[in-house]
Amino acid sequence: MVTVAVDAGGADLGPGEVAAGAARAAAGGVRVLLFGPAREIGPVPAGVELIDAPVSIAKQADPAHAVRTTPEASIVQATRAVADGRAQAFVSGGSTGPALAAALFNLRRDRGVYRPALALPLPIPGGSPVLLLDVGANAVCRPEHLVQFAHMGSAFAQAVIGIPTPRVALLSNGEEPGKGTPDVVGVHEQLAGARGAGLNFIGNIEGTQIVGGVADVVVMDGFTGNVTLKLIEGVSSRALRVLTEMADTTPRGRLANRLIAPTMRRLGEEIDPEGPGGAYMLGLRQLGVVAHGRFSARGFARAIEVAARGVQQDVIGRTRLALRDAGALRSPRLGAGADDELDSSSAPTATVSAP
Amino acid sequence: MVTVAVDAGGADLGPGEVAAGAARAAAGGVRVLLFGPAREIGPVPAGVELIDAPVSIAKQADPAHAVRTTPEASIVQATRAVADGRAQAFVSGGSTGPALAAALFNLRRDRGVYRPALALPLPIPGGSPVLLLDVGANAVCRPEHLVQFAHMGSAFAQAVIGIPTPRVALLSNGEEPGKGTPDVVGVHEQLAGARGAGLNFIGNIEGTQIVGGVADVVVMDGFTGNVTLKLIEGVSSRALRVLTEMADTTPRGRLANRLIAPTMRRLGEEIDPEGPGGAYMLGLRQLGVVAHGRFSARGFARAIEVAARGVQQDVIGRTRLALRDAGALRSPRLGAGADDELDSSSAPTATVSAP
């Protein structure tokens, strides 16, 4: 049985909502170590062990500093539980910055990995999900980061989504190899060169094509990834809402609204941000899942289940292997241990980014 | 009467489609100088003067080089007509790169402007349009460019959209002033400091909020702007299409589809990419409008009308004044003439970007 360490701090609806999600996940067969304020959470069911951790650093402006100086914080304790072997994965419902900083500090980057990335399997109604990464761990990415993300995403899509040869695309402002910032153009060249090394790189895609079913994995920097994810959420919900509002102004439209309501609900479920359970933190020595602070109990339960399944599917081991096979690991030129250090520059640029 | 110089090269449906658009605009009272292949276009109606220009550089990989070495190209001739005073604005239906390179070469940047930007008034159903800039002229932007774009966009929203005090926002991956890349954080600081100088800067917004009616002007770099625009197009059309397809699987849903069809058409018209007529090229000494290569005659007519109206509304003069009043002009530290030079670095990063 997989044990997942869960940080109850930082959820918009309060730690009780995370606890309710933990209870659901426990009922489904996952063991949960829950770190949060015991006084607020109250009794927990069998399968959930509550560790009193009333301090949350989810809203701290300087996550790296907060992690270093607040060992008792719920997210720090949750990631330490994974580092100590008491759990095999962690789930954070708080903001991404502290989760990333705590994970780098306690779990450390996997050997040869430049930067962890947040990977989100975006549900596509009537199609298979498309994996977007990075959706917010690194606002600024160097070309070698994006190249690694492509391999990490490809390995993930194979292991978790079950696609034998994932189509990997690079997001740019034009399909031609020369389109994009100089960094993006450089990444394109490197990915095109990696086609022999097991990467099914299909080239650049434009914004229109992200939801068009042409790629299984789309690589982008964390700033663009955050904007992309939030724009998809905002535009799809607004388009459907405006249609309903416009129809609602005529008797014929009102009837149409009543008749189409079940379909609208079904579509809403398919594009539900809680569906994927959050974004996977890839590139660490162990697995983390970053849920969205706005999630309800259902979403947190899903995040915990997704983390447990990721452990069973050995997401970390398979990503590591894919990076090694592709020759996409960072050379240890910085000396032993240097790549495991907490890179404080990453934390301030990290942002809330799960769906 | 305003005269608009129109480049018929580069339209996906061929120069005839642009000519048909020119004919419509002429019927509406705009004088058009049309540069394109006379043999393909054939006779033109009164109000349109056809200048035979069979060479198009719309598909050239190196636009700056193409502009310098192909003075007979249709877009080069069209921008030269504006420089010579034979027309007051130009419209390009080809790709953005050559249009931008030709405009920089012949029309030159306005004094004190770092880089021209493409500004698109995005229609928001049930609301007033939101002006996005830069939507693709500059894949890489320095902070001072983005600061100028904010002032340029604000002036444009006042002059053309008619908003007395436009709400100007900066797109980032979080609302807090410290969120974003280091460049974005720096731009935020400068814009916050410009609040006294007539800029109604409301702070950062996230992707979700672009279509949420909270801002009248949203500032972003051209790479993000291109992705944003194309994503909005792709996601809104896909959401509505999937709804229809899902409904179509049941008798009740099929009836709903029939009943809601008029509303769907009306919504489609409101989010029609041809509606705005294209993106305005701001920051030059004269006005340009970049239509989308995929436009039909109706879209090109709209682009020409929009360019003519921009001249009547003195978009360029009002933008210039706003930049001066805000103290947002570049200091002439590079020596006379240096800022008018064709910056060849801009052209390769420019991409098709209109809706």
pLDDT tens track for A149-183 = 999 999 999 888 889 999 999 999 999 999 999 99
Could you tell me the pTM of the whole model?
Answer: 0.90
First to last CA, chain A: 28
**Looking at chain B, how many residues does it have?**
355
Instruction: Suggest the residue from B138, B249, B259, B264 to mutate for an interface test with chain A (most A CBs closer than 10 A).
Output: B259
Among A169-183, A329-343, B30-44, B119-133, which is the least confidently predicted range?
A: A329-343
A227, A253, A349: residue with CB nearest B263: A253
**Looking at chain A, how many residues does it have?**
355
pLDDT tens track for B167-194 = 999 999 999 999 999 999 999 999 999 8
pLDDT at A28: 94
Identify the three-state secondary structure at position B4. strand
The answer, for A268 touching chain B at a CB cutoff of 8 Å, is no
Asked if residue B94 lies in contact with residue B293, where contact means CB atoms within 8 angstroms, the answer is yes
CA atoms within 13 A on the CB side of A354: 31
Report the complex ipTM.
Answer: 0.89
Mean pLDDT of B51-62: 90
pLDDT tens track for A335-353 = 444 443 444 333 333 333 3
d(CA B98, CA B43): 27
Mean pLDDT of B135-143: 93
Looking at CA atoms only, how far is residue A143 from chain B in angstroms?
15
> Nearest Cα to A226, choosing from B222, B72, B31, B210?
B210
pLDDT tens track for B292-344 = 988 999 999 999 999 999 999 999 998 888 888 888 888 765 544 444 344 43
Cβ density class A7-17: b for 16+ within 10 Å, e for less:
bbbbbebebbb
Looking at CA atoms only, how far is residue A28 from chain B in angstroms?
31
Residues of B within 8 A of A178 (CB-CB) are: 61, 348
Region label for A21, one of left (φ > 0), alpha (ψ between -120 and 50) or beta (otherwise): alpha
The answer, for A294 touching chain B at a CB cutoff of 8 Å, is no
Number of H helices, E strands in chain B: 12, 11
The answer, for B125 touching chain A at a CB cutoff of 8 Å, is yes
Other residues' Cβ atoms within 10 Å of the Cβ of residue B124: 17
* A205: β partners: A171
In the block, which residue shows the tokens 């607004």?
A238
> Nearest Cα to A151, choosing from A180, A110, A102?
A110
d(CA A118, CA A289): 9
d(CA A355, CA A229): 6
Q: Which are the contacts of A113, defined by CB distance < 8 A and separation ≥ 6?
A: A148, A283, A284, A323, A329, A330, A339
d(CA A321, CA A155): 8
Identify whether B216 is preceded by a cis peptide bond (ω within 30 of 0).
Answer: no
pLDDT at A333: 56
A125, A126, A231: residue with CB nearest B228: A231
pLDDT at B256: 92
Residues of chain A below pLDDT 50: 335-355
